[in-house]
Amino acid sequence: MKKKALIGLSALLLLSAGCGPAPAAPEAAAGPAGKVVELAAATKPTAPLFLSATGIVEAKRDVILSFGASGKIAKINVAKGSQVAQGSVLASLDTGYYQKAVEAAAGQVKEASARKTRKLQGATPEEIAAAKLSVERSKVRLEKAITDVAQGERLVQGGAMAQSELDNLKIEKTKAELDAKDSQISLEKLMKGAEADEIASVNASITQAASQVAQATKTLQDTKLVAPFGGTVVTVSQEAGELSNPGQDVIHLVDLSEMKVALDVANDTIDQYKVGTKVSVVNQNGEKTAGTVSFVAPVIDQKTGKYQVEITFANPKESWRGGMLATIEVPRSVKGVIVPLESVGITQAERYVMTAENGVATRHVVTVGQIVGDKIEVLSGLKENEQVITSGITYIVEGEKVVARGAK
């Protein structure tokens, strides 16, 4: 980009110095006095120099608000032009369904927490007594089943019972054995207390229920449109009683207390913009407002080929409105002297100026800086107040006699 800027500067200097369409040759002076030339003094600016750029004014904070949930709009609390404070409820949906969802989720958390409490406390004396009784009953049933099988075997041997009946008694015995084992295991678990995996399962249930509460609560909150900042309502797109969906425009809110101007700045002037630099914001009537450079893009915009710069400024009286045209004046730092643009010549190797010293043209190789309107900054090779030739320098050679136009 620097190379492109250098080429552009060179082209401008070539045109200014006469390397484009040939300028008219300087007038021939009568007699031996020399060629008549136009002169200008190399000066240092006595008044501040400004770099000007134009942009569109917009509110620094500008938002279109939408509900985060769907439903019927219950209330619209503002109208176009309403002034609202930060945190104000601007509109709300019917919350009946969402309120019930929060209550249901909270109930699940309560139930899961109660189960965890019971697990941690262990079995009550009544539960342990009931489990012991169940064990005793299982033992009685098992003992009876064992006796019935023994008697059945004797009866089968004596021919008084069929084999199928004995098989049924053995099945009942097996069931009684399993019941006895289950009863004993249940009693041991009650005596031992809750297992780690049981506690983990209950904890998982609590976590899931709490997540449902959080989601239901957020959805309930999304049924309200709350002003994120104080400002002015621009538009209200829906009315009470209408259905609204997430993302659907409802209220447009702007804050005009602070404005901004976005600029696209070319590579050759971007160095003049520094974050924190104080600038003037000028309206179409020439009235000025103090502003500040608040952002300078670190990289170039590939679409525009320029850098984005933002200027912010206070607007306490709200005299500035979005869409107005503003001229930004940025103070320029000038380190050298200023001469007319057409006084600088250019060759493939260098830039130069011609000065008139005691009626003789003298060539000075110079280093140039920034272009300031129709003038250019000379950083070295020229001193303040030296008289530079501004007309037809390509027709003048070093040592040639010259005389200023109008000189006697």
Query: What's the CATH number where 269 sits?
Result: 2.40.30.170
Give me the long-range contacts of 184-188 (CB less than 8 A, separation at least 24). 184/135, 184/138, 186/131, 186/134, 187/128, 187/131, 187/132, 187/134, 187/135
Mark whether 211 and 296 lie in a shared domain: no
Mark whether 37 and 118 lie in a shared domain: no
Mean pLDDT value across the chain: 83
In the structure, what pLDDT confidence band is assigned to residue 160 with cuts at 50, 70 and 90? confident
**What local confidence, expressed as pLDDT, does residue 148 receive?**
84
Most distant CA pair in the chain: distance in Å? 166
**What local confidence, expressed as pLDDT, does residue 217 receive?**
77
Distance of CA 343 to the CA centre of its chain: 48
Over residues 140-149, the mean pLDDT reads: 86
pLDDT tens, position by position, 369-382: 888 878 899 999 99
- Distance from C-alpha of 108 to C-alpha of 387, rounded to nearest angstrom: 92
Mark whether 111 and 212 lie in a shared domain: yes
- 3-class secondary-structure state, position 105: helix
- Distance from C-alpha of 63 to C-alpha of 336, rounded to nearest angstrom: 47
Tokens 């009626």 belong to residue:
359
C-beta of residue 254 within 8 angstroms of C-beta of residue 80: no
Over residues 146-164, the mean pLDDT reads: 85
| pLDDT higher than threshold 70 for residue 128 | no
Mark whether 329 and 339 lie in a shared domain: no
Q: Hey, which of 208-222, 296-310, 359-373 has the most confident mean pLDDT?
A: 296-310
Helices (H), 159-195: 163-192
Structure tokens given for 51: 């770099």
DSSP string, 310-366: EEEEE-TT----TT-EEEEEEEE---SEEEEGGGEEE-SS-EEEEEEETTEEEEEEE
Domain final residue, candidates 157, 185, 218 = 218
- Distance from C-alpha of 187 to C-alpha of 181, rounded to nearest angstrom: 10
pLDDT tens, position by position, 254-300: 999 999 999 999 998 898 899 999 999 999 989 999 999 999 999 99
**What local confidence, expressed as pLDDT, does residue 62 receive?**
95
- 7 backbone dihedrals φ, ψ, rounded to 5°: -65, -40
Mark whether 119 and 160 lie in a shared domain: yes
pTM given for the model = 0.56
Mark whether 234 and 87 lie in a shared domain: yes
Mark whether 254 and 323 lie in a shared domain: yes
Local structure of residue 401 (DSSP, 8 states)? B
Structure tokens given for 325: 């045209």
Mark whether 228 and 283 lie in a shared domain: yes
Mark whether 85 and 188 lie in a shared domain: no
- 125 backbone dihedrals φ, ψ, rounded to 5°: -55, -35
Helices (H), 240-324: none
- Distance from C-alpha of 98 to C-alpha of 251, rounded to nearest angstrom: 22
Q: How many domains does the chain have?
A: 3
Close Cβ partners of 158 (under 8 Å, ≥ 6 residues apart): none
| Least confident window among 55-59, 100-104, 120-124, 317-321 | 120-124
Mark whether 140 and 206 lie in a shared domain: yes
Domain final residue, candidates 195, 218, 241 = 218
User: Exposed, middle or buried: residue 161 (CB in 10 Å: 0-12, 13-18, 19+)?
Assistant: middle
Domain final residue, candidates 201, 218, 235 = 218
In the structure, what pLDDT confidence band is assigned to residue 20 with cuts at 50, 70 and 90? very low
- 225, 230, 234, 235 alpha-carbon torsion, rounded to 10°: 10
Mark whether 23 and 164 lie in a shared domain: no
Close Cβ partners of 98 (under 8 Å, ≥ 6 residues apart): 69, 71, 216, 219, 220, 223
Over residues 337-363, the mean pLDDT reads: 93
**What local confidence, expressed as pLDDT, does residue 1 receive?**
44
- Of the candidates 283, 287, 215, the residue with the CA atom closest to the CA atom of residue 56: 283
Mark whether 364 and 270 lie in a shared domain: no
Range of the domain at 393: 2-45+335-404
Query: What's the CATH number where 29 sits?
Result: 2.40.420.20
**What local confidence, expressed as pLDDT, does residue 132 receive?**
74
